Structure 1
Amino acid sequence: MRFLFLHNNFPAQYRHIALTLAQDPKNKVVFGTKNRDVTLPGIYKVIFEPNRNVHPTTHHYVQSLENAVLHGQAVYKLAEQLKAQGFVPDVICGHSGWGPTLFMKDAFPDTPLICYFEWFYHAHGSDADFDPTEPLSVDDVARIRVKNSPILIDLYTCDRGLSPTHWQRSQFPPEFHSKISVLHDGVDTEFFKPNPNAKLVLPNLDLSGVDEIVTYVGRGMEPYRGFPQFMETIAYVQERRPNCHVVIVGSDRVCYGKALPDGMTYKELMLKKVPLDLSRVHFTGALPYAQYLQVIQASSVHVYLTRPFVLSWSMIEAMSTGCLVLGSDTGPVTEIIKDGKNGLLVDFFSPQKIADRIDEVLDHPDKMAQIRVNARKTVIERYNLADLLPKHIQMIKDVANKTTVKAAKLPSGFGKKVK
């Protein structure tokens, strides 16, 4: 079979799926992307680039739409080149929102299209108005509505949709739920597994003699993932626990939400705002997977905070290693973590309460042991890559063969917005 994958950042959510399909010599796997750096065996990578940036005079409500159209146009031209070379896919899988999938039904009208639907934007009731100190303007509300335009086009044109969690699917218009299956990307539980004797030793950091390690992981350092609240939490923790160290994994950038208007990063802002003993706070930057694994295996308590938004892989990966995850009491987290069962929940906006729960974990390791076991059990039962990958492959083949694929029903309680 012939498979076409589309994602700006190769290989992203399609890593395991594309690699597995490419192992079969009867398959041809083509991956359209903007990422020139990464290569994977057996996958024919083709590059697309918009022919220009969004025009500076474009109305700010529709700049994201223009950007998506420019990306869609670039992929449309790429599709014409593939057809000229004799490649017509049996199925197309692409991430919706940035634009690459927009015109695939025009380029390949007889080819089924599966869109990965990660998020549908709302001005009210989810991420955008979650922080009461950041009220939305009229322009914000209108811009957010228009931001869904390319996603709505994909919802209409695709043959099948996919969302990784029930929480994320619940954000999409109910009239499209029958098109969207819930199937998580999966976590490699054989890689992300506990190491009871783990000691944290990185090239420039040796915490092998430290008994209390609080960890935080993010692609960036931003309010969407509770970075300011976490930094304030550290101040409380350091006052109470003189031997506790904090390890922060991630880049000093904003991946979700707005950057500060003065050019300062949130790391710079919080270090200026919160007095900390920096000899016990360690910023590692982004880490290779093997080193990141060491961090979460050695973690005494792992703090994961997020607005009601897309769930990070890192939370489930941490649970898979048997981490004691202290998660924000927000929709994407509570789908997975049940307080006191397989993790602990905290108020996103209360650094003092977060610190209190960190104390609870560090003061009662025996009490927390079963929660760690349950965390890994949850991942093995519900998010194990070994179980989910065959389901992904089968769904793609069923859609390619035009076999009826039923979307999973939402559990009771989903579809309600969470503040």
Structure 2
Amino acid sequence: MRALFLHPNFPAQYRHIITALGADPNNQIIFGTKYERPEWKIPGVTKALFTPNRDSAPETHQYLRGIESAVIYGQAVYRMAEKLKSMGFVPDIVCGHSGWGPTLFIKEAFPDTPLLCYFEWFYKAKGSDADFDPADPLTVDDMARIRVKNCPILIDLYSCDWGISPTYWQRSQFPSELQSKISVIHDGVDTTYFKPDPSAKLVLPNLDLSQVDEIVTYVARGMEPYRGFPEFIEAVAYIQERRPNCHVVVVGSERVCYGKSLPNGMSYKDKMLAQIPLDLSRIHFVGPLPYGQYLKVIQASAVHVYLTRPFVLSWSMIESLSTGCLVIGSDTPPIREVIQDGYNGLLVDFFSPKQIADRVDEVLDHPNRMADLRVRARETVLERYDLSKLLSKQLQLIEQVAQKSQPTSGEQISSQPVIA
């Protein structure tokens, strides 16, 4: 098979897929990406860089800047595709992430090649992430901009031969009349890597908590309201007041990945630490970590807190469950698809730091009572999110689309989640 993958970042959601395909010498796998990322090399996979010739212009109407950027990305990918064609490469399938624009004009470059789009999110002003926080009301400009932001995604929905979304919640955000074109298959978690270690002690290059039993963990790409960082810091104040031996470990970058940045350039970390008095000797901001160190953090965790607006579900939550973490999650739709309160984790009000702290107490005060939840947390991942099962389904879908024998309308390769 000849396959072309498209994503600004390498390898993104396609890491396991291209690793499997690249291992077969009969395949020719090219990954079109904006960033070289020399630290990532996957055998059998060739990177092809696309370079947008400019950014969207400041004078462009604010509603249209995202569309302009997507078109510029799409043009860059088209130029890259023309170079590939001149070297004799015509793919049997193109797999691309929809939203930034790399897939927009790929049908112009390869009109006879099937396109399988990864549909991660469809933007809505009402009923999901954008209007979730009553303290942050939307303006008419916000609502109009959000509506227009879907233009590149809608073009992909029309142009693609098939689509894939990682969760039912995420697929449900797309227009109902087009959801039958999207299969639900999660990216998958390597459960042989993310596994429990009952003897785990947390020792990082600059942090030794090997003598600490009460470790509360929090993981996110950025420290931002979308992932409940302000509420978590407020909860830490309660936790520290009640539990003098408890330490908190925060993994992630001091930046905003989703949502709005503060207008004064201050980070949410600095803002919250200025507002909430904490014992800084018992909260440890370790930054983003390589996988091996991140694994040590969640394996040693006594309680893992994962909060999110009704938005894209993070890999970290599934990975934490896979290690047998006791996850306290916000009672929001993406988490409810995975966690049932009191069965394989605990749910809390996103906006209640006190309730978050109360549930941390509940776990730390009754570790034996919570043991079954940890077991069922891993069982949930083994049953529904295990990479060894899902990778074969992803590859099966790619093969089906490449052969132009797409799944029948509405067919889902993974089953609707049901928790007994």
Q: Distance in 2 between matches of 1:361 and 1:56?
A: 50
SS, match of residue 46 in structure 2: strand
Query: What residue in structure 2 maps to residue 416 of structure 1?
Result: none
Query: What residue in structure 1 maps to residue 13 of structure 2?
Result: 13
Contact 1:182 1:408 in 2 (8 A): no
Sequence identity, in percent?
A: 69
Q: Distance in 1 between matches of 2:170 and 2:246?
A: 35
Contact 1:16 1:389 in 2 (8 A): yes
Aligned AA (1:72): G
Aligned AA (2:297): V
Aligned AA (1:16): H
Pair 1:99 & 2:101 matched: yes
Pair 1:113 & 2:93 matched: no
User: Deviations 1:265-305 (Å, cap 9, x if unpaired)?
Assistant: 00000010100000000000000000000000000000000
Contact 2:22 2:42 in 1 (8 A): no
Query: What residue in structure 1 maps to residue 23 of structure 2?
Result: 23
Q: Distance in 2 between matches of 1:156 and 1:354?
A: 43
SS, match of residue 358 in structure 2: helix
User: Deviations 1:111-142 (Å, cap 9, x if unpaired)?
Assistant: 00000000000001100000000010010000
User: What is the alpha-carbon root mean square deviation over aligned residues?
Assistant: 1.1
User: Deviations 1:126-159 (Å, cap 9, x if unpaired)?
Assistant: 0000000001001000000000000000000000
Query: What residue in structure 2 maps to residue 145 of structure 1?
Result: 147
Aligned AA (2:108): D
User: Deviations 1:328-380 (Å, cap 9, x if unpaired)?
Assistant: 00000000000000000000000001000000000000010000000000000
Contact 2:221 2:253 in 1 (8 A): yes
The runs of 5 or more residues in structure 2 that have no matched partner are none
Matches within 5 A, 1:319-334: 319-334=321-336
Matches within 5 A, 1:20-419: 20-37=20-37, 38-406=40-408, 407-408=410-411
Q: Distance in 2 between matches of 1:49 and 1:197?
A: 48
Which stretch has the larger CA shift, 36-45 or 92-101? 36-45
Offset of residue 39 of structure 1: 2.2
Aligned AA (1:95): H
SS, match of residue 218 in structure 1: strand
Offset of residue 42 of structure 1: 1.2
Q: Summarize the Cα distance change of 1:356–1:119 in structure 2 as closer, same or farther, 3 Å threshold.
A: same
Q: Distance in 2 between matches of 1:166 and 1:408?
A: 13
Offset of residue 412 of structure 1: 10
Q: Distance in 1 between matches of 2:23 and 2:384?
A: 26
Contact 1:328 1:347 in 2 (8 A): yes
Q: How many residues align?
A: 413
Aligned AA (2:18): A
Offset of residue 411 of structure 1: 5.0
TM, length-normalised to structure 1: 0.97
SS, match of residue 250 in structure 1: strand
Q: Distance in 2 between matches of 1:58 and 1:11?
A: 31
Q: Distance in 1 between matches of 2:359 and 2:76?
A: 49
Aligned AA (2:84): L
SS, match of residue 261 in structure 2: coil
Q: Distance in 2 between matches of 1:222 and 1:22?
A: 36
Contact 2:162 2:181 in 1 (8 A): yes
Which stretch has the larger CA shift, 318-327 or 37-46? 37-46
Q: Distance in 2 between matches of 1:412 and 1:379?
A: 11
SS, match of residue 192 in structure 1: coil
Aligned AA (1:341): Y
TM, length-normalised to structure 2: 0.97
The runs of 5 or more residues in structure 1 that have no matched partner are 414-419
Contact 2:384 2:417 in 1 (8 A): no
Q: Distance in 1 between matches of 2:20 and 2:383?
A: 22
Q: Distance in 1 between matches of 2:155 and 2:214?
A: 50
Q: Distance in 2 between matches of 1:91 and 1:408?
A: 20
Aligned AA (2:23): Q
Offset of residue 49 of structure 1: 1.5
Contact 1:327 1:345 in 2 (8 A): yes
Q: Distance in 1 between matches of 2:101 and 2:405?
A: 27
Structure 1 consecutive aligned stretches of length 4 or more whose deviation exceeds 3 Å: 406-413
Contact 2:122 2:150 in 1 (8 A): yes
Q: Distance in 1 between matches of 2:220 and 2:203?
A: 20
Q: Distance in 2 between matches of 1:306 and 1:280?
A: 24
User: Deviations 1:169-201 (Å, cap 9, x if unpaired)?
Assistant: 000000111100000000000000000010000
Q: Distance in 2 between matches of 1:242 and 1:252?
A: 26
Aligned AA (2:272): M
